[in-house]
């Protein structure tokens, strides 16, 4: 007899750790997205260096802010995390090949978002 891992309830400790991760990610992405949307000079300069245009700063800011808020809504958390995965992959690529910056922060954020998406995968309704 096999037991489906998805059907097993989470322990209290793992649920607290999951929520702590989601809250920390939400805070970081709401602040990061907000700084892009507010036109903080460092963000304007960064997107000038990327060379795609300032419209991309707004798109990225909206994605980050909306994803951060979604992480705080239980039924939407998995979608917020899934939206952040390609966003952080893009940030890693930009940091490695376009702007000379360390990719460590986006890699850590990618790992955290992927962990939340994995932990919340049962909300997707797929087997």
Please work out, in degrees rounded to the nearest 5, the angle formed at the alpha carbon of residue 33 by the alpha carbons of 31 and 36: 110
- Whether the predicted pLDDT of 124 surpasses 90: no
Count structural domains, the chain.
1
pTM here? 0.87
Inside any domain, residue 115: yes
Inside any domain, residue 29: yes
Inside any domain, residue 86: yes
Question: What pLDDT is stored for residue 73 in this prediction?
Answer: 96
Give 73-80's long-range contacts (Cβ < 8 A, gap of 24+).
75/123, 77/22, 77/116, 77/120, 77/123, 78/116, 78/117, 78/120, 78/121, 78/123, 78/124, 80/26, 80/116
For 34, the domain range is 12-121
Inside any domain, residue 102: yes
Inside any domain, residue 49: yes
Inside any domain, residue 127: no
pLDDT tens digits for range 77-106: 999 999 999 999 999 999 999 998 999 999
Inside any domain, residue 2: no
Inside any domain, residue 66: yes
């Amino acid at each position: 007899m096999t037991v489906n891992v998805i059907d097993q309830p989470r322990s209290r400790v793992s649920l607290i750790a999951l929520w702590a991760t989601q809250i920390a990610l939400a805070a970081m992405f709401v602040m990061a997205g907000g700084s892009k949307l507010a036109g903080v000079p460092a963000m304007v300069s960064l997107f000038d260096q990327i060379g795609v245009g300032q419209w991309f700063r707004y798109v990225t800011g909206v994605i980050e802010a909306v994803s951060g808020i979604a992480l705080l809504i239980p039924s939407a958390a998995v979608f917020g995390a899934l939206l952040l995965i390609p966003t952080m992959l893009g940030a890693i690529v930009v940091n490695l090949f376009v702007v000379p910056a360390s990719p460590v922060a986006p890699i850590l954020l990618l790992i955290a978002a992927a962990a939340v998406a994995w932990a919340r995968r049962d909300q997707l309704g797929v087997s």
